[in-house]
Amino acid sequence: MICNEKMYALGAKRSVIRELFEYGKKRKAEVGEDKVYDFSLGNPSVPPPKEVKEALLRLLDTPNETALHGYTSAQGDKGVRETIAKNYKEKYGFAFDPDLMYMTCGAAASLAISLNAVIKDEKDEVLTFAPFFPEYRVFTEKAGAKLVAVSPAEGLDIDVEAFAAAINAHTRAVILNSPNNPSGVVYSEEKIKAVAEVLKAASAKYGAPIYLISDEPYRELIFDGKKAPSLPLYYKDVIVCYSYSKALSLPGERIGYIAVSPQATDAEALYLAVCGAGRALGYVCAPSLFQLLVKECDAYTGDINAYKENRDLLYGALTEYGFTCAYPSGAFYLFVQSPTGDASALSEAAKEEDVLVVPSDSFGCAGYVRIAYCVSRDLIERSLPAFRRIAEKFGLRK
């Protein structure tokens, strides 16, 4: 092999999600756009809030175009970081230090940078809670460590005992994602507190901080009056990885940030490692125009009510047809149990009805399919007879 084999393997093998998305495009060309119910991709279906376009137009009209499109400092514009820290304090009650924040190209870059900043040794392990976003494995392994998944408790919740049992002297970091992709589950404040207690005890036992990397692209997409707890309020060694991809519906613009908790052990050194990892990975100076845009729009969110209505419609229908899934209070995913326990049996049966749903194996949790309901309400309504037929095929509905 003339090039790096591991990188070749990653490039040559598309993710299951992308594979299905590409199949959907092909299938739509064959049978018609409206005959395929594509629930494969987590691409926001609600437009960005109107303030985004207004701010963009205002920004484009500013006289200093070279500054608008020029390099900012490697870690991002200071004024942008200050505004984000101020808004976060108002909303979540925790004060980030703008000098410990780093603007990035979305949560993917935030995670890759954070993992590279904390992983020290090839024996290092990174724990995460199943089901989990499949790219965690890619980022962790590239950063030189091993990803270990902790199986969930009832309702796809965190199993605190299993989590405590999975920690050992090599555990360097834990990735926590709430609201969760792929389950839509929002972990309760009690669970977060319990995780924090386990981490405090383990950090003391092993004599080194275990970092809690909080992957929060769906932080603002929460329903049912729930609120995402701010993790730095419960544990000190936290690195928040945020993205505007979902809350502002800007996934293609690649903008987000890392915030190192000012209370983290030797926070300045940790932040310098974040800056170093950003530099080494080539993630310096996040898109300048969109840094300025999020400075103006950080406090806004797209119409989450549209997602809530989709959730209500689809969750209601699927459970009525006999399917089982954990109740999703956030993000825009449903994680549905395969009646046979075999994920591909359900995803293949769905495919026969031109319903595209992702089998769960790559999410570290066998026997489910993920339905991304960030689609139009009309598409969901039209897909329901197909879901009913799928339920009938499995004998769920007579």
Q: Report the interface residues with ligand PLP, using CB under 6 A.
A: 42, 106-108, 133, 177, 181, 215, 217, 243, 245, 251, 256
State the nearest-atom distance from the C-beta of 331 to ligand PLP, in Å: 8
Q: How far is the CB of 388 from ligand PLP (least distance, A)?
A: 29
Query: Of the two residues 251 and 339, which places its CB atom closer to ligand PLP in the complex?
Result: 251
Which amino acid, one-letter code, is at 65?
E
Torsion of CA 170, 230, 176, 220, to 10 degrees: -160
Measured from the Cβ of residue 50, the count of other Cβ atoms closer than 10 Å reads 9
- Which one, 349 or 365, has the nearer CB to ligand PLP? 365
CA distance readout (Å), 302 to 108, 276, 378: 21, 33, 19
Shortest spacing between CB 46 and ligand PLP, in angstroms: 15
Under 8 Å between Cβ of 79 and 295: yes
Q: Which structure tokens are listed for 161?
A: 């005992």
On the question of a cis peptide bond just before residue 328, with omega within 30 degrees of 0, the verdict is no
| Cβ nearer to ligand PLP, comparing 41 with 384 | 41
Among the listed residues 24, 329, 327, 252, the one whose alpha carbon sits nearest the alpha carbon of residue 337:
327
Q: CB 268 → ligand PLP: shortest distance, Å?
A: 26
Judged by beta carbon, residue 72 or residue 245, the one nearer ligand PLP is 245
Two structure tokens written together for 112: 């890759």
User: Considering the complex, what minimum distance in angstroms separates the CB of residue 322 from ligand PLP?
Assistant: 28
Centroid of chain to Cα 57: 29
Q: How many CA atoms lie within 13 A of 295 on its CB side?
A: 20
| Token pair 């410990």 in the structure block, residue | 100
| Minimum gap (Å) between residue 165 Cβ and ligand PLP | 24
How near is the Cβ of 207 to ligand PLP at its closest, in Å?
A: 30
321 DSSP 8-state letter: T
Residue number with CB closer to ligand PLP (214 or 230) = 214
- CA nearest to 308, candidates 136, 186, 134: 186
Residue nearest to ligand PLP (CB): 106
CB closer to ligand PLP, 27 vs 246: 246
The CA–CA distances, whole Å, from 51 to 13, 47, 55, 291, 302 equal: 39, 11, 6, 15, 10
Q: For residues 17 and 125, what is the distance between their CA atoms, to the nearest angstrom?
A: 26
Q: Given the complex with ligand PLP, which of 106 and 209 has the nearer CB atom?
A: 106
Nearest distance from C-beta of residue 177 to ligand PLP, angstroms: 5
Smallest gap from Cβ 369 to ligand PLP, in A, equals 16
Place of tokens 């995670």: 111
CB nearer to ligand PLP: pick between 18 and 205 = 18
Which is nearer to ligand PLP, 203 or 243 (by Cβ)? 243
Tokens of residue 293, six digits: 């845009």
For 73, other C-beta atoms within 10 Å of its C-beta total 12
